[in-house]
Structure 1
């Protein structure tokens, strides 16, 4: 783990017609943030200067042409493009989507090649970013392809962590997508990330049912009885502390989630509606299972308030802090699990 060097934190700028640039710049307008990391914003000096003036911010930044030239204690802007950008806050624009992809691709490449340590992504518009180079339902699938690993959408706060068996999958397809192999893979990923990224030695994981009331013993669908329960039992037989399936409608209201290190939801809204209800503005989207650390705020582009100087920065700031914390925890885990004999070059 880095001791003297500051953690280099790369930031993709997201959709420039949304609130992403506002929350990024306002976060680092607070000079105290520069004590925790060296931020590198992947965009262009020209557009950052325009946004600085628009939001009447006092931040100082320097343009660079390579992440290796980033200076600690300063906001660094990696110049990804030179073209002029015509921002129209609150509007969907395919050209703006192309700049969002340029920023994301450059930041991802830097992460892949160890030029930055952590990636924090500002929100994209999933429609306007689509192109020949980006044919994905969101960040998670793109990063999984580029960075490798068993990716999983993991929504986190200090007191609540929710992982998804399926993320951007249509509701009509959920039952057919959830297989024993998928369940086992996702739960193993959550277990691993709790150990290496959150310092939980023996993770205790709850699994929510696929159907209402977890199928009521097959009365309301057979997926829980035939797919979910046998897989949970298989994992328990291997020594994992996995419990369920629990009926999703009462699980959060009864505060049962407090008894577990993580909760596994079967599909997007089953997990994210209660998560955002309990923690909106403080939650972080962490892509667990990747070989690199990526976080993001738990909200979208906010077109309705874009450019109005009204965006709340709390979730983005939390994403920065969580990215740093996870990076440090993972580096510590590597040291703790490294075989000392192997380290000394001895054969075992």
Structure 2
């Protein structure tokens, strides 16, 4: 891709009864966004017309049948379905899940074919989207099946990046899911992403303890002593800048996180509660480690405000910019690794 060419940014609309379409349309009401990318929304003309009228938004779009027919300078809508869905703002319906999946499947198919360059996904309802075709706890696991690589749920801002050893698993199952192979894999995935996607040459990574106070030397659980510490020492001895385990209760409040390029939390809430507290509305959910770039806003369907025009689109807009920047960073990384002489020149 030419340095000045527009990135084709695919968008799945998520649950039509939530705020997905609202945050998408609000983001691109500002026509200056079209200077950065060519948006390709996977839905239908009638669906997007209904949403923009219901939300009283002034926005024009261009209907197409295939993603590769997208036109630069326009908001493109791929007609994935012809029928008119029954949209009930704020309701978790079977139909809402059906169309969320149709949009996602079409977008991922286009991504795999190279018809779009990156994908930004709007929020889904993890319950009503479940079908024979989609038996996953969320986007991340589905994309891990569809795209090559080792997937990692990576919550990112410019100042803070938090990955998870275990993501959408029940809390009672998280400790038993953590093992040396998983830890090594996740650390390497974070390292590679920091280098390839964010341009950090020697990433420094912190791991949070599994138990309170990282187990207090085995007094409060033995997982930290028997699993985390040996792997951290092994990887550190091998040259990885990996440190911990750190007690999670004071790690963020003391600003210790600022000393690291990324943090690996043991389980979902251990990482996401401080992340969203520190950066809600500006954070982005990035699926690191895959062959393609996918980002998402850091919030859910927000049924309670759906259809009211109250949704804050800041996180979705950040997800758009993050996808564009990561795609560009990957291009640059690829060029540098293909041309070592250029790499040496840049490092000077």
TM range (shorter): over 0.9
Counterpart for residue 158 of structure 1: 158
Counterpart for residue 94 of structure 2: 94
| Separation (CA, whole Å) in 2 of partners of 1:107 and 1:17 | 19
| Separation (CA, whole Å) in 2 of partners of 1:185 and 1:237 | 16
Counterpart for residue 344 of structure 1: none
Counterpart for residue 82 of structure 1: 82
SS in 1 for 2:303: coil
Counterpart for residue 19 of structure 2: 19
| Separation (CA, whole Å) in 1 of partners of 2:266 and 2:338 | 34
SS in 2 for 1:282: coil
| Separation (CA, whole Å) in 2 of partners of 1:300 and 1:167 | 15
Q: Please report how far the alpha carbon of residue 5 of structure 1 lies from its aligned counterpart in structure 2 after TM superposition.
A: 2.4
Q: 1:109 aligned to 2:109? A: yes
SS in 2 for 1:72: coil
1:200-219 → structure 2 map (5 Å cutoff): 200-219=200-219
Counterpart for residue 172 of structure 1: 172
| Separation (CA, whole Å) in 1 of partners of 2:307 and 2:56 | 12
| Separation (CA, whole Å) in 1 of partners of 2:100 and 2:303 | 15
Counterpart for residue 3 of structure 1: 3
Q: Please report how far the alpha carbon of residue 95 of structure 1 lies from its aligned counterpart in structure 2 after TM superposition.
A: 1.3
Counterpart for residue 227 of structure 2: 227
Counterpart for residue 345 of structure 2: none
Deviations 1:87-110 (A, max 9, x none): 000001011101000000000011
| Separation (CA, whole Å) in 1 of partners of 2:60 and 2:21 | 15
| Separation (CA, whole Å) in 1 of partners of 2:130 and 2:194 | 33
Q: 1:286 aligned to 2:286? A: yes
SS in 1 for 2:120: strand
1:47-86 → structure 2 map (5 Å cutoff): 47-86=47-86
Q: Please report how far the alpha carbon of residue 148 of structure 1 lies from its aligned counterpart in structure 2 after TM superposition.
A: 1.6
| Separation (CA, whole Å) in 2 of partners of 1:250 and 1:149 | 33
| Separation (CA, whole Å) in 1 of partners of 2:319 and 2:340 | 34
TM-score by length of 2: 0.97
Q: 1:148 aligned to 2:124? A: no
| Separation (CA, whole Å) in 1 of partners of 2:129 and 2:291 | 24
Q: Please report how far the alpha carbon of residue 4 of structure 1 lies from its aligned counterpart in structure 2 after TM superposition.
A: 3.9
TM-score by length of 1: 0.97
| Separation (CA, whole Å) in 2 of partners of 1:218 and 1:340 | 47
| Separation (CA, whole Å) in 1 of partners of 2:2 and 2:325 | 13
Q: Which moved more, 1:55-64 or 1:103-112?
A: 55-64
| Separation (CA, whole Å) in 2 of partners of 1:90 and 1:199 | 41
Deviations 1:99-122 (A, max 9, x none): 000000000011111110010000
1:260-279 → structure 2 map (5 Å cutoff): 260-279=260-279
Counterpart for residue 193 of structure 1: 193
Q: Please report how far the alpha carbon of residue 340 of structure 1 lies from its aligned counterpart in structure 2 after TM superposition.
A: 6.6
SS in 2 for 1:263: strand
| Separation (CA, whole Å) in 1 of partners of 2:14 and 2:2 | 28
SS in 2 for 1:40: strand
SS in 2 for 1:304: helix
SS in 2 for 1:143: helix
| Separation (CA, whole Å) in 2 of partners of 1:4 and 1:257 | 36
SS in 2 for 1:219: coil
Q: Please report how far the alpha carbon of residue 321 of structure 1 lies from its aligned counterpart in structure 2 after TM superposition.
A: 0.3
Deviations 1:64-101 (A, max 9, x none): 01111101010000010001111000001011101000
Q: Please report how far the alpha carbon of residue 264 of structure 1 lies from its aligned counterpart in structure 2 after TM superposition.
A: 0.5
SS in 2 for 1:96: helix
Q: Which moved more, 1:296-305 or 1:45-54?
A: 45-54
Counterpart for residue 324 of structure 2: 324
Q: Please report how far the alpha carbon of residue 247 of structure 1 lies from its aligned counterpart in structure 2 after TM superposition.
A: 0.1
Uncovered stretches (5+) of structure 2, i.e. residues with no partner: 342-348
Q: Which moved more, 1:58-67 or 1:263-272?
A: 58-67
Moved over 2 A (4+): 1-5
SS in 1 for 2:250: helix
Aligned length: 341
